[in-house]
Amino acid sequence: MLTGRTAECALLDRRLAAAHTGQSAVLVLRGEPGVGKTALLGYVAERAEGCRVVRALGVEAEMELPFAGLQQLCMPLLDGLERLPPPQRAVLDTALGRTSGAPPDRFLVGLAVLGLLSDTAEERPLVCLIDDAQWLDRSSAQVLAFVARRLQAESVVLLFAEREPVEHDELVRLPDLRVTGLSHADARDLLMSAISGPLDDRVRDQILAEARGNPLALLELPRDVPPALRAGGFGLPNARPLRGVIETSFRRRVQQLPAATQRLLLAAAAEPTGDPIVLWRAAAELGVPAQAIGHAEADGVVELGSRVVFRHPLLRSAIYRAAPVDERRSIHRALAAATDAVGDPDRRAWHLAHATIEPDEDVAGELERSAGRAQSRGGLAAAAAFLERAAALTPEPARRARRALRAAGAEQLSGAPEAALTLLSTAATGPLDELDRGELQRLHGQIAVDLRRGGEAVPLLLDAAKRLESLDPGVARDTYLEAVRAASIGGRLGSGVLAAAQAARAAPPPAGAPRPVDLLLDGLAVRFTDGYAASASTLKQALRALRDEDHPGQGVRWPGFARRVAPDLFEDETWRAFAVRTVRIARETGALAVLPLALNYLAQLRIFEGELDAAEALLDEADAIADATGTTRIVIAALLLAGCRGDEARASALIEASGAEAIARGEGVILTFGEHARAVLHNGLGDYEAALAPAQSASARDELMVSVWSVPELIEAATRSRRTEIAAEALERLSERTRAAGTDLALGIEARSRALLSEGDVAEGLYREAIERLGRTRIRLDLARAHLLYGEWLRREGRRVDAREQLRAAHDMLATRGIKAFAERARRELWATGETVRKRTVETREELTAQEAQIARLAAEGRTNPEIGGALFISARTVEWHLRKVFPKLGITSRRELRRVLPERFGASV
């Protein structure tokens, strides 16, 4: 046991023991530098008998190199790469730089790593130790956090050690263990074990006070005290920040070594790969004999093997920070010369960047090419860093400004809008041409949208669009589309979308055949000036063209506004195609500014499909990305989810909180979504009077998607509140739109709503039409509600037997999907018909966790374990583990019985 770490060691022992029984474990050790995190990882490595152990180390200088940390961890495991499915094998090869190819899907990389770890652990438990995780490159951190959240039954122990969570910390939501300083007694024991010879009580007490229980400080601080002073009691300097204390101690230790050894140590500190071949090449460039490293080995500063390893991570930073700037540049220059320009051009360029002080176009060009390679691998943050340094080293002012502008664009897409604004300021000082000036203003408007400054964004985008009209009409039209979108976000709190639509309608027509986005812009301009019906034909044409586009012209923002237009037109299949493809594109490119919004749109679709658990998983992912990038969480889908769940207290609290934040940011569309969610909530609870006002307000707006979907809520609330005049007027508005849309979804919603205002055979025919039409769609939430309304009508008509059939169908669909308030409505109606809902239908389903229910539904569809794992981003082994728990809960013994016990479950994959 480590001194004073009995509890921590026991916890880690339990994690290792669980791995031998088929359970995975994830833990982040957090604490200040030197507190013992590395020692605890070492303890695990020593205790991992019968396990395979792989390690990785986050390195500050490597933070901008995409997948650098992942490469360290996975390279020893690549003997299992051939056993992965070909798409996963190919994407991991690309991410690790082993092959070139299309930009890797960040989440497919995660699935590939999950599969690699799971496969490796089949033979014996696998222990993965990642030290200094705060310095992992973001691509690796995101993938490893993704994997960590999905490890369950793979016999994998994944341990991270990091300092306090940083601004963009992908690990912040993982289970953690706070590693604090030792108790006074344990600290004294450790100190005395490290001291040979007498130690004055006052010196001892001063060391204990200054170290504050930090084990590394307790071991290193006595080195600052000569033996004579230890016994004489002359004391130590006043307390300094711990990191400074430890690094100072390390520096003094290194400064006692020969000058040649110090130069080699500085080279090793500046080359984070630990490749001894690169170090020896650099030594030759520096004119330093390789044997000089022997003094550092003898002193215990470094260990030499297949890699150069420092005794403690702080030694690296202590050596590097202590070196004069000119000496650092000299070392980086030697490392650049020692690095293979063909095999590792990006690391060579990075060393060149650190070696160069004066503008140098050759180096700047290398960095720009590295940025292109990083971006093709989904490393937008790395691309931004390369471009920013390239701009700083560019001699020619106009080219420097353009590179800064490109860097700002990469920063913005990587989810760092504040950094992008800083780079925009740099670009703005350069001699940009008019086209670049227009692009700069456009990017400024896009950043304002990302920062939730809609009122600022709309005029910036409209002005940029006007400026670009004569320079690049296509980009100008794209910018008008962004302005309409920004205005629609402002909603009732902004200047209104009408002015933006009018400006867009006055824009010059496209040169030549219109692009899909040109059709979209034209349709939206008509939509917000002449109305829904007038725009339907053009917008449908735009949606078809966008859906058929093989190479989306809008890049990572494809298809932009169309994701809201499709549900506004009740085009459910197009809606699904857009939602899924947008997430895929955002993941492939690593566009963290875009991905949370894309995940929210996909979550909205899943909610309407009745897949609430899948929606919740997507929203968790979106929130984690928003937290990691320091941006505001997007709450629209969360509002809809809360309304459908039917928990009044929780939903109301979320709606109130999000409304206050929306008002502060000027995002009126969120208020409308909140009203819609409140209407759904109260209709589900059967509190129709409470649903009426929010449904009226939401449906009276002309906001894409949400307003038109609020009209059926208003009709239901009004008819049940005996306000038929309100319901009749709303039905007219709905009919105008559903007839213009013309889809089964639209006409099914209309038939269901019209039935509420009808009687006798007419009502029954409309209910049957609604069920038939909605049954041909994926929108199971509205299909279930059609069964519920039909069953309620049948019971009131005195047709109990017929009512039970419809109410059972509704209850099964609603209860098994977690749509609790509507399910309870169906249960009460069934009780009123004289039927008690069977225990298996209600209580047993409640025993399933969200993930178990999801896996059971997909297995019921006939999907294999690998297919389910691929859909849910978990391993096939974890799927099997969950199913072994699902079967006894449902009282079955095989997959074949799942369809029988999960009726009407035809869920979509995540």
pLDDT for the residue 905: 37
What's the pLDDT at 841? 41
Judge whether 410 and 371 are in contact, CB under 8 Å. Answer: yes
For the segment 594-600, the average pLDDT, to the nearest whole number, is: 86
CB of 755 within 8 A of CB of 788?
no
Q: Alpha-carbon distance 136 to 59, whole Å? A: 6
Cα–chain center distance at 777: 29
Supply the pLDDT for residue 379. Answer: 65
Mean pLDDT value across residues 766-785: 96
Q: What is the pLDDT of residue 877?
A: 75
User: Distance between alpha carbon 528 and the CA centroid of its chain, in Å?
Assistant: 33
pLDDT tens, position by position, 689-702: 999 999 999 999 98
What is the per-residue pLDDT across 624-639, written as a single tens digit (0 to 9) for each? Answer: 777 766 678 889 999 9
What mean pLDDT is predicted for residues 874-890?
Answer: 81
Span 50-73, pLDDT tens digits: 999 999 988 776 777 778 889 899
Q: Which helix (H) or strand (E) holds 181?
A: none
Q: Report the candidate in 361, 349, 354, 347 with the shortest Cα–Cα distance to residue 332.
A: 354
Q: By the 8 A CB rule, do 278 and 339 touch?
A: yes
Closest by Cα among 420, 416, 414 to 439: 420
State how beta strands 302-304 and 308-310 pair: antiparallel
Q: How far apart are CA 171 and CA 237, in angstroms?
A: 37
Q: Does residue 677 have a pLDDT over 70?
A: yes
Closest CA to 35 of 158, 252, 183, 239: 183
Report the SS3 class of residue 96: coil
Per-residue pLDDT at 378: 59
| DSSP letter assigned to residue 103 | P
Predicted confidence (pLDDT) per residue in 34-55, tens digit:
889 999 999 999 999 999 999 9
pLDDT at 525: 94
Compute the distance between CA of residue 715 and CA of residue 595 in angstroms, rounded to an integer: 35
Kindly tell me if the per-residue pLDDT of 595 is higher than 70. Answer: yes
Confidence at residue 196, expressed as pLDDT on a 0 to 100 scale? 58
Report the distance separating Cα 146 and Cα 590, nearest Å: 14
Residue (of 373, 362, 434, 422) closest to 398 by Cα position: 434
Question: Do residues 172 and 142 lie in contact, with contact meaning Cβ atoms separated by under 8 Å?
Answer: no
Q: Is the peptide bond before 559 cis (omega within 30 degrees of 0)?
A: yes
Mean pLDDT of the chain: 85
pLDDT in tens, 250-286: 788 888 899 999 999 999 988 867 788 999 999 999 9
Question: Comparing C-alpha atoms, which of 543, 550, 553, 613 is closest to residue 579?
Answer: 543
Band (pLDDT 50/70/90 cuts) for residue 13 is very high
Q: Specify whether the CB–CB gap between 753 and 716 falls below 8 A.
A: yes
Question: What is the distance, to the nearest Å, from the Cα of residue 128 to the centroid of all Cα atoms in its chain?
Answer: 22
Helix (H) or strand (E) holding 303: strand 302-304
Q: In this structure, what is the dihedral angle of CA atoms 13, 15, 20, 26, given to the nearest 10 degrees?
A: -150
What share of the chain in percent tops pLDDT 70? 89
Give the global pTM.
Answer: 0.65
Q: Is the four-CA dihedral 496, 502, 503, 505 of positive or negative sign?
A: positive
Q: What is the pLDDT of residue 897?
A: 82
Q: Which tens digits make up the pLDDT trace of 885-896?
A: 888 888 788 888
Predicted confidence (pLDDT) at residue 240 exceeds the cutoff of 60: no
pLDDT mean over 683-693: 96
CB 521 within 8 A of CB 534: no
3-state secondary structure of 183: coil
Tell me the helix, strand and coil percentages in the chain, rounded to 5. 70, 5, 25
Mean pLDDT computed over 236-246:
53
CA 145 to chain centre: 10
Share of the chain above pLDDT 90, in %: 47
Amino acid at 407: A
CB atoms within 10 A of CB 382: 29
Q: Which residues contact 903 (CB under 8 A, 6 or more apart)?
A: 809, 812
Give Dmax over CA atoms of the chain in angstroms: 105
Long-range contacts of 892-901 (CB under 8 A, 24+ apart): 895/859, 895/860, 898/856, 898/859, 898/860, 899/860, 901/840
Q: Which pLDDT score, from 0 to 100, does residue 243 have?
A: 58
Phi, psi of 556 (to 5 degrees): -70, -20
Dihedral sign, Cα of residue 434, residue 436, residue 438, residue 440: negative
Quick one: pLDDT at residue 706?
92
Tens digit of each residue's pLDDT (9 = 90 or more) over 312-343? 656 777 888 888 999 999 999 999 999 988 88
Query: What is the radius of gyration, based on Cα positions, of the chain?
Result: 31
Higher pLDDT, 545 or 414: 545
The confidence score (pLDDT) of residue 550 equals: 63
Please spell the DSSP secondary structure of 511-571, one letter per residue.
Answer: SSSPPHHHHHHHHHHHHTTT-HHHHHHHHHHHHHHHHH-SS-TTGGGTTTTHHHHHHHTT-
Sheet of 25-30, strands arranged across: 52-57, 126-131, 156-162, 25-30, 176-178
Decide if pLDDT at 311 tops 50: yes
Secondary element (H or E) of residue 220: helix 215-220
Determine the Cα–Cα distance for residues 116 and 121; give it in Å rounded to an integer. 9
Is the distance from CB of 350 to CB of 329 less than 8 angstroms? Answer: no
At 559, the pLDDT band (50, 70, 90 cuts) reads low
pLDDT band at 238 (very low <50, low <70, confident <90, very high): very low
Say whether pLDDT at 437 is over 80. yes
Question: What 3-state DSSP class applies to 104?
Answer: coil
User: Could you tell me which residues come within 8 angstroms of residue 520 by beta carbon, excluding any fewer than 6 positions away?
Assistant: 481, 539, 542, 543, 546, 559, 560, 561, 562, 565
**pLDDT for residue 237:** 43
3-class SS letters over 439-481: HHHHHHHHHHHHCCCHHHHHHHHHHHHHHHCCCCHHHHHHHHH
**Among 76-85, 387-396, 745-754, which stretch is predicted with the lowest mean pLDDT?**
76-85
In 361-416, which residue ranges form alpha helices assigned H by DSSP? 361-376, 380-392, 397-413
Cα 738 → chain centroid: 36
DSSP state letters, 834-894: T-PPPHIIIIIHHHS-HHHHHHHHHHHTT--HHHHHHHHTS-HHHHHHHHHHHHHHHT-SS
Residue 891: CB atoms within 10 Å: 10
Question: What is residue 353's predicted lDDT score, i.e. its pLDDT?
Answer: 87
Q: How far is CA 333 from CA 138, 154, 350, 363, 721, in A?
A: 26, 45, 10, 12, 78
Place of tokens 């169906």: 826
| Contact status, residue 481 vs residue 520, Cβ threshold 8 Å | yes
Mark out the alpha helices in 276-324 (DSSP H runs). Answer: 276-286, 293-298, 313-322
Residue with tokens 């947008």: 582
Tell me the C-alpha to C-alpha distance, in Å, between residue 675 and each of 349, 497, 693, 889: 53, 20, 9, 38
Q: From CA 398, how far away is CA 438, in angstroms rounded?
A: 15
Sign of the four-CA dihedral 781, 784, 788, 789? positive
Distance of CA 155 to the CA centre of its chain: 25
What band does 90 get if pLDDT is binned at 50, 70 and 90? confident
